[in-house]
Amino acid sequence: MKIYFAGSIRGGRKDKDLYALIISELQKYGIVLTEHIGDPNLKETGEDFSEDYIYKRDMNWLRNCDLVVAEVTTPSLGVGYEIGQAEALGKKVVCLYREVTGKSLSAMLSGNSNFQIHKYQTLEDLKIFLADFFKSL
């Protein structure tokens, strides 16, 4: 299974360690095309490639993936765009949202019945969800 993991880069990297843990967990179930999202050295400025290259590469990965898993706790225009494109491409989309005091999930995600939304508190919660989710596929 080819998994496209989406997480914030230019929208903020405060969850980069969490992304790395999620990617490591997802790798139990398939190939994560976007494992660089969890790279602790990746800064908010992104990768050292042209924006044109990144867009074309990522769109190719989206077209060729089997599943999109997006961590949506940190709002990101790029992640929102990737989720919208995934929906347009008919991809299965799972949105992971860590419940945080003072934040709420966008209605554009939570109100969309095409997306599976999973709210969680801990990494352990997430591991259990992912194990059950992949078992059900």
In the chain, what are the domains? 2-136 (3.40.50.450)
- What is the rounded average pLDDT of the residues 74-102? 96
Q: What pLDDT does residue 100 have?
A: 86
Q: Up-side HSE of residue 83: CA atoms within 13 Å toward CB?
A: 26
- Read off the pLDDT of each residue in 109-122 and give the average, rounded to a whole number: 96
Residue 37's CB: how many other CB atoms inside 10 A?
Answer: 23
* pLDDT bucket at 81, cuts 50 / 70 / 90: very high
Helices (H) and strands (E) in the chain, counts: 5, 5
